[in-house]
Amino acid sequence: MMNEFLPAHYVESIQRLALGIECTDPLIRSRIGWPVRVTRDGSPFPIPSWKRDPDASRWEVPTVLEVLPRSDSCRHAVLLKSTTAEPIGLRIVDRSQRFVPRRLSIRLDEPIGGGRRVRPALFPGAAYPIPPGAVGVRGRILRNGEPMRWARAEARRTTDDVLVGRGFGDEHGEFVLVLEAEAGRGADLILPLTVTVIVFGPDVEADPDDFPDAAIDPLWDLPVEEAVIGPIGEEVLAGERLPAGYVSRPGSTRDVEFSWHGFVREEFDFS
């Protein structure tokens, strides 16, 4: 076989990029510096004990999902292989719960192998290091008396309906929403401030009986968000579009007053 770049007496090995992933933090508007786990999405069947890595953390549930390599520049890569096909399914999880997990299905707008890059946003989870002086809400959502998994939340300025914050709910029905600077008028955030918080969730509650992997997959009902490379896909990756079937309910909208205490706690009923 002839080499593509080197003389014939060299053994040539070429690796091409199918998709680059750079996870971002929308609060700091930059890439995430600490490691998050990015895998190819699928059914995470547990690995037999005799195949497990003896040096792996005992707190992590090992699975056969393909882990995408992470570079020192905080980027992950899907390498182009003969078996690579679209769409490319991604599962992004932070084991320390600083960020809420996401599942994405990426379809490229050109033949695979174009070396495209995506920048999915990850939103604060229960263990997120809230910056000093930040103002926001820690919310809990109930549905029929039980925590509602994977909700979404928006904060809008009550006076003119301007969006001033987003939050993603976790599997425990909790979310962290930090107000943006645009919540106030002018350069300073003037408190006390009243903001309308709206919680969204699936119109039809997911039934574990409809998911064969519900017993072994902790993310069995986490919506798979479909993104095509392009403007609409960028909105999905940025978390600006709700997953299909998500709605709000009368009990999931509330005016919240923020003061110098920084964070308030609210409970929403999505029944």
The answer to whether residue 215 scores a pLDDT higher than 80 is yes
The answer to whether residue 81 scores a pLDDT higher than 50 is yes
How confident is residue 5, by pLDDT bands cut at 50, 70 and 90?
Answer: low
Share of the chain above pLDDT 90, in %: 46
Residues 172 and 228 sit within 8 Å (Cβ to Cβ): no
Where is pLDDT greater, at 48 or 229? 229
Give whole-number Cα distances, 215 to 143, 212, 220, 240, in Å.
Answer: 21, 8, 8, 30
Give whole-number Cα distances, 1 to 9, 11, 25, 81, in Å.
Answer: 11, 10, 45, 18
Q: For 183-192, what is the mean pLDDT?
A: 62
pLDDT tens track for 133-160: 888 999 999 999 999 999 999 999 888 8
The answer to whether residue 9 scores a pLDDT higher than 80 is no
Q: Which two tokens stand for residue 233?
A: 């896909």
The answer to whether residue 113 scores a pLDDT higher than 50 is no
What integer pLDDT is reported at residue 72 of this predicted model? Answer: 85
Residue 255 CB: number of other CB atoms within 10 A?
Answer: 9
The answer to whether residue 2 scores a pLDDT higher than 90 is no
Where is pLDDT greater, at 93 or 64? 93
Residue 235 backbone phi and psi in degrees, to 5 = -65, -40
pLDDT tens track for 10-39: 776 666 778 889 999 999 889 999 889 999
